[in-house]
A and B are shown apart, each in its own frame.
Chain A
Amino acid sequence: MDDPVADLITKCAAGDRAAFRTLYRVSSAKLMGVLLRMLRERAEAEDALQEVYTRVWLRAGRYDPAKGRGMSWLIAITRNLAIDRLRARPEAHSDDGLDSVQDATPRAETRLVAQSEARRMADCFGTLDPDKAEAVRGAYLNGLSYLDLAARHAVPLNTMRTWLRRSLLKLKECLDA
């Protein structure tokens, strides 16, 4: 399948700095979107974006186009960095801004249906209880921890963990079918 982002990452692995600049041009808006949504602070998102592209250049040799799309690889690096930063924050963080972020989810869901891979995802999410599907989405898109999820859903942390683990395994069964 045609994947220009994957080609650019492969060129970065060979030390092609021009390809790195092009990669920044074509992918930075998406990765900035990921960081703004998860970190919810522009200054930190911009700082994290520099770190993301530093890692992308240094790790480009480990990207294997056979194992996934280039953009998915970039987003995995970005999410991992954002989650590490979120977990390093002092525990008592406010939920400020989270509710408005959550409101954006249904619209995102509509966009999901546009692609077949994503439609499959939406179908499989449909097999989960709605509140559990929302917990999985909330964790993936907003970087919520078990602690955050337990507080939001007003259940003990261990209960949340058991719920989520079951939901994830159910999701896998559906997606791999």
Chain B
Amino acid sequence: MTDTAFTPREAEDALAAEYVLGVLDAAERAEVEARIRRDPAFAARVAEWEGRLSGLNDGFAEAPAPNLLPKIEARLFPKPVAARRFGLFGWLSGAAVATALSLVTVAILAPPRPMPVATLATADNRLAYRVTHFGGSLQVNRVAGVPAVPGQVHELWVIAPGAAPVSLGLLQDRPLVVSYPVPPAGFVLAVSIEPEGGSPTGAPTGPVILTAEIGA
């Protein structure tokens, strides 16, 4: 069959449609996604196709989903591990300590290896935090500089592309350990200066002093 040439405009539109339809391979999809990020006119075409084809959505039947909210919320709204561990020890009875000790032994026998995630540092390296991923948690160590002045605190945030920052916790004297998956490329980690106790609003209120993009 002979291929009738498409006009450039038609070819663009067809590419946006192919992307929404999902028929492209992984490499082509990645190219189109890069284009969506840098070319608002093209992004608008993609959005138009999403609207056009949404009439097919009735073809998806509903299927009961298990309640995954606790897992999702644990991922989105992490609690510092240190606080939880403290609570756990208070709760343990003497009889359970033996079990706990054997669990500790197992953990020592098969230690997870820390994986570097990012380093947040000032240009002159006078303040730097190193972020690693370790056994299902992010661990943040200060490798240069000092904590914030009394009355203030450094707060760590994770920012998904285009989304609002989510707090991961406060950076004080001890390393921060927070249950969190490995942040994907394109996510940004940032440190802001907040009043003692952390941001009162749930969003950064003070100056952002350090940032690092994952995979950059």
Residues of A participating in the B interface, judged by any CB pair closer than 8 Å: 13, 15, 17, 21, 24, 28-34, 36-37, 46, 49-50, 53-55, 57-62, 67-69, 71-72, 75-76, 79-80, 83-84, 86-88, 104-105, 108-109, 111-112, 114-115, 117-118, 120-121, 136-137, 139-141, 143-147, 149, 158-159, 162, 164-166, 168-169, 171-172, 175-176
Contact = CB atoms under 8 A, between A and B. Distances in A.
A143 B21 CA distance: 8
Given A36-B63, A62-B162, A169-B10, A117 B21 contact: no
B22 A143 contact: yes
Contacts of A158: 3
Given A33-B60, A139-B23, 10 more contacts: A17-B73, A57-B76, A57-B163, A61-B162, A80-B22, A115-B58, A121-B55, A140-B22, A158-B3, A169-B14
B35 to A, nearest CB: 15
Interface of B: 1, 3-4, 6, 10-11, 13-14, 17-18, 20-26, 29, 47, 50-66, 68-69, 71-73, 75-77, 160, 162-164, 166, 202-203
Contact of B76 (A36, A54, A86): A54
Main secondary structure of the interface of A (DSSP, over half): helix
Q: Nearest 9 pairs between A and B by C-beta?
A: A121-B55, A32-B65, A58-B163, A108-B59, A58-B160, A83-B22, A28-B65, A87-B26, A72-B54
B163 A75 contact: no
Contacts, number: 172
Nearest to A104: B61
Given A54-B76, A168-B14, A172-B13, A72 B57 contact: yes
A30 B54 CA distance: 14
A109 B58 CA distance: 8
B137 to A, nearest CB: 17
With most chain B CB atoms within 10 A of its CB, the pick from A13, A53, A165 is A165
B59 A149 contact: no
A68 B13 contact: no
A120 B63 contact: no
A140 to B, nearest CB: 5
B55 A50 contact: no
Given A28-B65, A55-B160, A149 B23 contact: yes
A86 B25 CA distance: 9
21 contacts: A24-B68, A32-B64, A53-B72, A58-B166, A61-B164, A62-B163, A67-B51, A75-B54, A76-B50, A88-B26, A108-B58, A108-B61, A117-B55, A118-B55, A118-B58, A121-B55, A145-B24, A164-B23, A165-B14, A165-B18, A169-B13
